[in-house]
Each structure stands twice: as structure tokens, then as C-alpha cells.
Structure 1
Amino acid sequence: MKGRKLLMIPGPIEFEPDVLHAMSIATTSHVAPNFIEVFGNSLELMRTVWKSPKGQPFIVAGTGTLAMDMAAANLIEQEDNVLVISSGYFGKRFNDILERYGANTTILEAPIGEVVSLETIEKELKSKQYKALTITHVDTSTGILVDPKPIAQLAKKYNTISILDGVCSVAGEVINQDEWELDIVLTASQKAIGVPPGLALLMASEKAMKVWKNRKTPVPNYYADWSNWLPIMKAYEERRPSYFGTPAVNLIVALETSLKIICKEGIDKRVKRHQDLAKAFRAAIASLNLEILPKSTALAANTLSAVYYPKDIDGALLSAKMIEADVIIAGGLLPEIKATYFRVGHMGSVSANDLMAVLGALERALIVLGHPLEPGKGLQVFQNKLLKDN
């Protein structure tokens, strides 16, 4: 026995040993030369992972919600029209944040398990001038994957800022920020980036920075204001000491460690690994007579899976059986249906062995609870799919 359980939720995830070791080193000064080098290198590595050589990176102590808050606070002013494209819980959260800053929001919500069509989005963009639109790349509550590229193209066509919530996608799904002309791509450290919770990470395009500089009113959030943070980012990247608020020193050391691991693997290769494992896992889930929440596999994220409980199984009992087998999964999050499904995270340093452990525990739990299936079926399908695709 390892003495701990396998954490397979959609964040925090299982972290690389080198990342955890970086968290444990003696904390240095935030203006020490060695830390300035780490911070500056982290900013540069972010551009590689985001595929945004022209972007302005921000690393700030906080959560993914803070990154969303920073985008809204700096780019939105009172009475600005903003279009929110929602595929779950976190689309609605972005709507709430935007309204807090006085935006006139219009929310386009997809039916559960679906995405908003491009035709619907374009029709709305034609109806009036929108300053910005938001896209949830992968909604952690539903496991729905949205293709940001054509939406970003529509945003450009209608002179609208595009803001991508990449909390559950950056470093796990295909993102080409500069090529797709996405203005903001934001995330949090504890997902596919592979660092314990505590960092809000954001990349802003040249256009987004220009919109911020030309705003008519002060940013109504002191901590989130880029006026305070931009000089810090520039100083660290130029390897100079600077101060606004004390950075999360050990988390940033861990961030550099993880970004180096990501770049050594190669971002394209890393994304393909996520895709291959997710396809095999979905095939295994289907073989167990289980249904995923997305209406089609084309809409299913590669960083997590949302799976409906069998109708004859008590979800709480299933989760308890999984914990007994030393595997932790997440329950549902979408309020309307939260008791009907569970979620499995498969991002970051996730391996085939991790997902085989999940499937083994899941099979045993289902059998014990009376769900009809052939023992070993899911594991066999998972293995065969991986072998076929590689």
C-alpha cells in the first residue's frame, strides 16, 4: 500500500515528484537573484505553452476565478456589452463576474451535453456591438469541449475581444493563442499545468493590452489591476527586482519546474497524449454500459470525463466503493443534475496506468453494486484502444 489514495478529480491533480520537491525547498526572498531568474523564465515558458510569442503573461497568486476576474476587471467598463457562451457552471460564473463590473451581459446557454452553435453566436454578434465575448474551452462541470478557433474568428470579424477560459484546458487541449487571435487565455495552476493550487495564470494579446490602456475609467479592482502587475511582470522578465504584492515564491518555483517538464515533453506531444488517453478511457466507459454527459465524443474533453451513474446504482455508494479501492473521483457539479453523474480527471502527468487503476476500481465497484458487466471488459477495451492508436 502507498499510504495514500490516487487523486483522479478534475483538479487538483496528481503532481510530478519534481514539482512537489520544488514546493518543499526553503523559501527565498522574492527579490533574490535566483528567484528573479525563476520568475522571468516562467513568464517566457508560458509563451511557449500558450503558443503566444507576442502575448503578455501574468502570474498572480490566486485561483482560476481570479484570472477570470482580472480579465473582466481590466477589459470591461460600465454598460459594456459582453456575450457569454456557456456550456455549464463556469460559463454562468463568468456571467456573474462580468455583471459585477457593470457589463450588460447576454448569455447563450447550450442544452446540457451540447455546445452553442456558431450560427447562434454569429446571429447574436450581428444584433449589436459587443465589446467582448467569453468562451469556456472545457467546462469542468460538464466535460464539454468547445472549439475556440471559429469563435475567435467571429470575434475578430465583429471587432469583439475574445476571452478564453482555459482553466481546464491549457496544456491539455489544443490552443494556438496567437494564430487563432485569441485576446485572453487564462488558467489556474492546479489543472493541466501541473502545479498545486494557488496561481492565476493569464496571457493577454497586444490588442487586449491596448484596449486596457485606452479604457476611460480606472480599473475598479485594486488587486487585479494590470497597472499594478504589468511593471512587476516586465521587471522580472528583464531580470530586475520589483514589488507590488509578495508573490507565491514556492509555487512559482514549482511552476517553472512544471513548465520545463511540459516543454521538454513538447506541447503538441503532450496534447496528443491527453487525446489518446481520453479516447481510450471513453471507449472503456462505453464498454461498461455507461454514458458520458457530452452528447457526442466530438464534444468530450480530453482533460476530464463526466459520466452518468447507471440508473440502478446509488452514486454515493459508488463513490464510497471507489474510495475504498484507494481512488478518488469527483461528483457532479452542475446543479440541475449534480446527483446523476461523476467526473474523472485525466490531465497533466496522468498515465495509462493511472486510468487503468480507475477502471479496475470502477469495474469492481459496479459489480459489487449489482451493475451487469463482464469483469475486465473495460480494461481490455482501454488497452486495445491504446495499442490500436499508437
Structure 2
Amino acid sequence: MSSPKPQIPNSKKRDQPGHKLLAIPGPVEVGNNVLEALAQPPLSHVSPDFTRIFQQGLLLSKKVVGSASGQPFIIAGSGTLGWDQVGANLVERGDRVLVLRTGYFGDGFSSCLTSYGAKVTTLKAPSLGEPVSLGDLESALLGQNFKLITVTHVDTSTGVLSDIKSIAAVARRVSPQTLIVLDAVCSAGCEDIKMDAWGIDVVLTASQKAIGALPGLSLLIASPRALETYSTRTSPIQGYYASWQKWLPIMEAYMAGKAAYFGTQPVNLVRALTEALQDIMKNGEEGLALRIEAHRKAARRLRAVAAQLGMKTLTSRGAEAAGLTAVWVPEGLTATKILQRAGAKGVVMAGGLLAEVKDRYIRIGHMGVSVVDERRGDIEKITDTLYAVVTELLEEKRPEPATS
């Protein structure tokens, strides 16, 4: 049985031949205009043309996360560089940090901040696939004086979506001096984020997921309160490349329409990123809201097909992400077999990331142009492939009927 097929006017195939469809938690498929921007001849990183492109990218990055007052940083590096920026600029040795842990990436953020001398307390979710309890959060904040609280908005190892609006409200009420840091690598561009309205102090993300650009850029927006914490620190910054002493003057210059230099900007990556950000914000906040709803719709469609196959989601009800689905494989099958068979059919999915259950679940990304441009047929191909692969493997496992 195939998944329901939507009626798509002027349907056309993807016009990027020669590659398998990416349905992983990132990198994701990108639009033709983004690829074309990447393929242009390089510009001088201090030219007026590039300055205008970079300025636009910085301004648009703020809008995607709902900030008018924040200071954006766009720096060559992966999303992990955002962790280093937080550690290098906002943490001083001995500072207490509360890390909300809903999977692998909470552990990673904790390890990063520990390397900068933070005393980290990890607040774990009650069980695998669940978010951290708001009651446990309040108790933890009442128990100690934390300089930072970090939240992984969507942990790509589990697909768990944390309710950052409620988390921020609790933190602001119980521990108003604590900075709130959001890892939005797998949420910016497909989940609701209102940085200023909710009182979030840092939002960090990357270019290659729901933003819809290519890997290689770390995006971070810092609130005025975060910048005040940075500027009033009493110990030297423990870092060089991640230091805001180096990068803040550069970002401020480009925001003002002036070129500046610390390190050579990856001009083509920035050009492609700005193109992707323009696509996201071309219809303003209303267009962004519609984009988020399109991701939720695609997620519901994929999970409905998975349910037909008896594949339960790893995440608890109400904590499912819009851009990523993690599902347990049916009894008797392995993630490895499903991924191999899907790859042979032209769709690349991801296996589990948690070592203890690594081959028992798969992760399927549905973000960016694959969702918002229905003419490509990507979501249809992903759901049809999942259904076909699991059905085939289950059929193959059935014993042959006995013969007399």
C-alpha cells in the first residue's frame, strides 16, 4: 500500500540529477538558486558587492529567530562552533552551568563547556524520547545559582523537541539572572523561535539543516544581555578563533555596510546562505509561520506511513520535532538493513546515534526545500521508499509455507 499522493499542480521532477535524495538530519537538499549562488565566481571578501550580501545575511539571520535587538555572528565552521563561542565568551572558570539533556547533543554541549572550566550540572529527561520535566527544571534552578542554562531545541539523536517557550518562562521567573542559551541547529527555519519575546539570550544554529543552505557556516545571535555578560567578564577569553573580541568588530562593521577583516569570509557559502535566508523570509513573519506549518504537515504525513508499518516514534507525544522523525524499526529488522535497502532505491536515511540502541531505530530528516517545494516530490519519494523497503524486508523474513 502506497502513501497518499497529494494533488500537486504543475508537478515536476527534481532538476538536480545524479544524486541520491538526502533524507537525513542534515545536510539537506537545497534549492537550485542556492546551488547557483554557490557556483558563482568568488567575490572579494572586502568588496562592496560582498559587503551588501553579508549585511543582508546577518539581518535575515536575526529575523528567522525572531530577534530585532540581537547581534548576529556568521562564521565559517559547523554548528559546533556555536558551542565554542558560548564557552569562550560567556563562561569563566568555575561558572555553574545547567545543561538540559534530551540526547547525544546535550552531552556534547556539556563536554564543550566543561573544557572552558564550567562546572556543569546535567538535568536529564525522565526517559529516552522525553523532554526534561519543567518541575525538575524549576527545582534545579532553585537549588543552585547558574550563570547559564543550555537547551537543545531539537536533539537530532532522539528527535525530541524541547518546549523552549515554557523553559525560558520558568528560567526567567525562578532564576532571572541566568542566561538562556538555545541550540537551534536542527530547529531554526522549521520550528517557532521568538528570541526577543521569550527572553532567550543566545540562539545558535548552522547553515545546513532547515535553513536550507550548504554545510560550513555557524550562525549565532546574542542578546544585549549576553553581550553585556561578555563585555564585563573578569578573566581573559580562553580561545582565539571563537573569540568575540576578534569577531564582534567584524560583524558590527558589516552590519553597518562596511567591510572589515579578521579571517577571510567563505564568500560563496555566505552568498548561498543569504539566498536561502531570503527564501525563508520573502513573505515576512507570515511566510515563516506557513513554512513551519508545512514542516509539521510533512512530519505528520511521514509518521502516518511509519505507523502503518508498525514503526513507533522514539519521541513521546507532544515532543515530536517538525523537521526530524526518529522511529523504532519493526521487530526482526535492523536499521542497517533498512538504510541499505533505502539507499539502493535512491533515498539516504540515517541510523541511530545513541550507542545503546543504535541499530534499533532510524532517523529521517524532512527539512527545507524538500518540504516547502512540493513540486519536487521529495516527501512523497521518502514516504513511498520507507513503505516499500520495510514491506519488502518483512515479506522476506516470513517463513516459506510448508509443503507436503
Residue 306 of structure 1: how far off its partner (Å): 0.5
Distance 1:224 1:155 in 2: 27
- Select 1:346's aligned residue among 341, 366, 371: 366
The residue type paired with residue 368 of structure 1 is E
- Select 2:32's aligned residue among 7, 11, 17: 17
Distance 2:329 2:304 in 1: 16
Distance 1:314 1:271 in 2: 32
- Select 1:271's aligned residue among 292, 296, 299: 292
- The answer to whether the Cα contact below 8 Å between 2:306 and 2:387 also exists between their aligned partners in 1 is no
The residue type paired with residue 369 of structure 1 is L
1:165 corresponds in structure 2 to 183
- Select 1:120's aligned residue among 128, 136, 147: 136
The residue type paired with residue 149 of structure 1 is K
- Select 2:315's aligned residue among 290, 294, 297: 294
30-39 or 306-315: bigger deviation: 306-315
Q: Secondary structure at the match of 1:336?
A: helix
Distance 1:369 1:41 in 2: 49
- Select 1:199's aligned residue among 217, 226, 231: 217
Q: Which runs of 4+ in 1 moved over 6 A?
A: none
Q: How does 1:140-155 map to 2 (within 5 A)?
A: 140-155=156-171
- Select 2:339's aligned residue among 301, 319, 323: 319
Are 1:55 and 2:70 counterparts?
Answer: yes
- The answer to whether the Cα contact below 8 Å between 1:191 and 1:348 also exists between their aligned partners in 2 is yes
Distance 1:257 1:54 in 2: 23
Distance 1:285 1:188 in 2: 28
Residue 371 of structure 1: how far off its partner (Å): 5.1
1:359 corresponds in structure 2 to 383
2:3 corresponds in structure 1 to none
Structure 1 unmatched runs, 5+: 373-390
Distance 2:324 2:231 in 1: 37
Distance 1:45 1:359 in 2: 32
C-alpha RMSD of matched pairs (Å): 1.4
Residue 326 of structure 1: how far off its partner (Å): 0.5
The residue type paired with residue 369 of structure 2 is S
The residue type paired with residue 141 of structure 2 is L
- Select 2:279's aligned residue among 251, 261, 269: 261
- The answer to whether the Cα contact below 8 Å between 1:8 and 1:344 also exists between their aligned partners in 2 is yes
Structure 2 unmatched runs, 5+: 1-12, 397-404
- The answer to whether the Cα contact below 8 Å between 1:310 and 1:371 also exists between their aligned partners in 2 is no
Write the deviation string for residues 8-59 of structure 1: whole angstroms up to 9, x where unpaired: 1110000011001100000111001100000011111112111100010000
Please report the TM-score for the alignment, with normalisation by the length of structure 2. 0.90
Distance 1:128 1:90 in 2: 23
The residue type paired with residue 318 of structure 1 is I
- The answer to whether the Cα contact below 8 Å between 1:312 and 1:371 also exists between their aligned partners in 2 is no
The residue type paired with residue 112 of structure 2 is I
The residue type paired with residue 355 of structure 1 is I
Write the deviation string for residues 128-177 of structure 1: whole angstroms up to 9, x where unpaired: 11000000000011000000012112222202100000000001101000
